[in-house]
Amino acid sequence: MFVTANLKIGMKEIWSHKLRSFLTMLGVIFGVAAVVAMVAIAEGAKEEALRQIRLLGTNNIRIRKQELKGIERTRAMRKSPDGLTRADAASLREILADVTNIAVSRTVSARLLYKNEIPPCTVVGVSPGYPEVVGHAVQEGRFISDLDEKETKQVCAIGQEIKNRLFPLEEPLNRQVRLEGQLFTVIGVMEKKSSDGGIGSLKLGNLNQNIYIPITTAFKRFGQDERAEQLDEISLKLLEGADLQELAHVVKRILLRRHNDVEDFEIVIPEELLRQSQRTQRIFTIVLTAIAGISLIVGGIGIMNIMLATVTQRTREIGIRRAIGATERHILLQFLIESLTLSLVGGFIGIFAGVGMAKAIALYAQWKTPISILSIIVSFSVAAITGLGFGLYPSMKAAHLDPIEALRYE
């Protein structure tokens, strides 16, 4: 009964001075909202990074061509005119025992023509091992085979968006599409992938708009530049538990030797990019935690300040209560409960604000921001501790007032 009565008094006091109470609670609101939103964003970022690493392929090393300029390009053209080639890939396969599969790819400039339309697409010449290495499976039909590559057949596997655009109500297999005036037979449809995958310097774009053709066909039909058979990328799939960093150094030494010490390539380890992303997230989390902590301290100071002012305003009330039998403990608990009520109301508002912020960021960033029950419990508990901690001194001051002096206070 005593606690319930004091809660009612506390809520009445807050409601009687709505603006003052709201301004007092702002620090607690921001602090709690920051904690809830921070945990949701961090968890969402973690899930997004894991999704992206799955898109890039687990336990992989990727070697990408490096665009050089000026003197470096001139030197590269003189000492290593071919750039990345299938011979490089074959050499890596032969030397590295930890390589279980290897895939090569090259994006070519070719428009898709279908019924007088030019749908957006990316035409990629690849080797048969591409789906296994990068983790992009075939949903219907089959992928490019060794025979397709050997005989430079004009066949292709298409992404989900291409299928939906060209064959929304038809069976796409064995149908033909026209790439720069040349007919290609559809032999497979790839599974749907989340768009715009990739982290750091390694971006995959929208895989659902890709059209995959044999790498030999890409060179023969669309190789028109000065490095007609240069690859864009070599992807290595390694044994589980392989030392990716050590193997990356070995790969670099092999390629530098083959390219006459011209570094016209870059080596990317998706797992390392993931670790870098996670380090950035940890820094981000620490910064947000510091902001939340500062906000809670400021909120606590605001609560203490208002409670001290309230004690001064209600000195005569304290004297009357003491005169009719209230003990120091009763007065202490009364003001402590009021302080706790102030911080808990701020905590409730902060939780809703934090959830709202997380949802808004989810809509903007297009990734999930799961709300953690633990973060809500922790932030609400911290708000309660803030109210108790910073309300203790004003409550003790009120409890220790001399009853006679309090009654005489005007």
**CB-CB neighbours of 407 under 10 Å:** 15
- Res 99: pLDDT: 84
Q: How many CA atoms lie within 13 A of 352 on its CB side?
A: 5
- 64-89 in b/e form (b: 16+ CB < 10 A) is bbeebeeeeeeebbeebebbbbbebb
- Res 58: pLDDT: 62
Asked which of 63-77, 130-144, 179-193 is least confident by mean pLDDT, the reply is 63-77
320 burial (CB, 10 Å; 0-12 / 13-18 / 19+) is middle
Band of pLDDT at residue 142, cut at 50, 70 and 90: very high
**Looking at residues 12-19, what average pLDDT do you find?**
74
Query: What is the overall mean pLDDT for the chain?
Result: 80
The sign of the CA dihedral 390, 396, 402, 406 is positive
For tokens 């006091």, name the residue.
Answer: 13
**Looking at residues 115-139, what average pLDDT do you find?**
86
Band of pLDDT at residue 147, cut at 50, 70 and 90: very high
Per-residue pLDDT reduced to its tens digit, 296-339 = 787 788 888 888 877 777 778 777 877 787 777 777 877 788 88
| Amino acid identity, position 216 | T
Residue 29 to residue 342: CA distance in whole angstroms: 11
Q: How long a stretch of residues is the chain?
A: 410
Q: Which of 101, 102, 119 is nearest to 110 (CA)?
A: 119
Residue 341 to residue 345: CA distance in whole angstroms: 6
Percentage above 70 pLDDT, the chain: 86
Residue 379 in this model has a pLDDT that exceeds 50 = yes
The domain limits of the chain are 2-52+275-408, 67-263
Q: Helices marked H in 243-372 — which ranges?
A: 244-258, 270-313, 315-323, 328-365
Band of pLDDT at residue 359, cut at 50, 70 and 90: confident
**Looking at residues 369-375, what average pLDDT do you find?**
79
In sequence order, what are the residues at sequence separation of 6 or more whose Cβ sits closer than 8 angstroms to the Cβ of residue 281? 42, 45, 46, 49
Residue 52 in this model has a pLDDT that exceeds 70 = no
- Res 201: pLDDT: 47
Residue 104 to residue 234: CA distance in whole angstroms: 5
Residue 4 in this model has a pLDDT that exceeds 80 = no
Residue 136's alpha-carbon distances to 184, 195, 341, 364, in angstroms, are 21, 13, 55, 27
Most confident listed range (22-31, 201-210, 213-222, 234-243): 213-222
Residue 397 in this model has a pLDDT that exceeds 70 = yes
Q: What is the DSSP letter of 259?
A: T
Band of pLDDT at residue 346, cut at 50, 70 and 90: confident
Longest Cα separation, the chain: 106
- Res 10: pLDDT: 64
| Amino acid identity, position 224 | Q
- Res 156: pLDDT: 94
Residue 282 in this model has a pLDDT that exceeds 90 = no
Per-residue pLDDT reduced to its tens digit, 177-203 = 888 888 999 999 999 876 555 544 455
Report, in this order, helix, strand and coil percent for the chain, each rounded to 5: 60, 15, 25
In sequence order, what are the residues at sequence separation of 6 or more whose Cβ sits closer than 8 angstroms to the Cβ of residue 354? 32, 33, 34, 35, 36, 37, 40, 379
| Amino acid identity, position 24 | T
| pTM for this model (two decimals) | 0.64
Residue 2 in this model has a pLDDT that exceeds 50 = yes
60 token code pair: 């992989």
Residue 30 in this model has a pLDDT that exceeds 70 = yes
- 323-352 in b/e form (b: 16+ CB < 10 A) is eeebeeeebbbbbbbbbbbbbbbbbbbbbe
- Res 69: pLDDT: 73
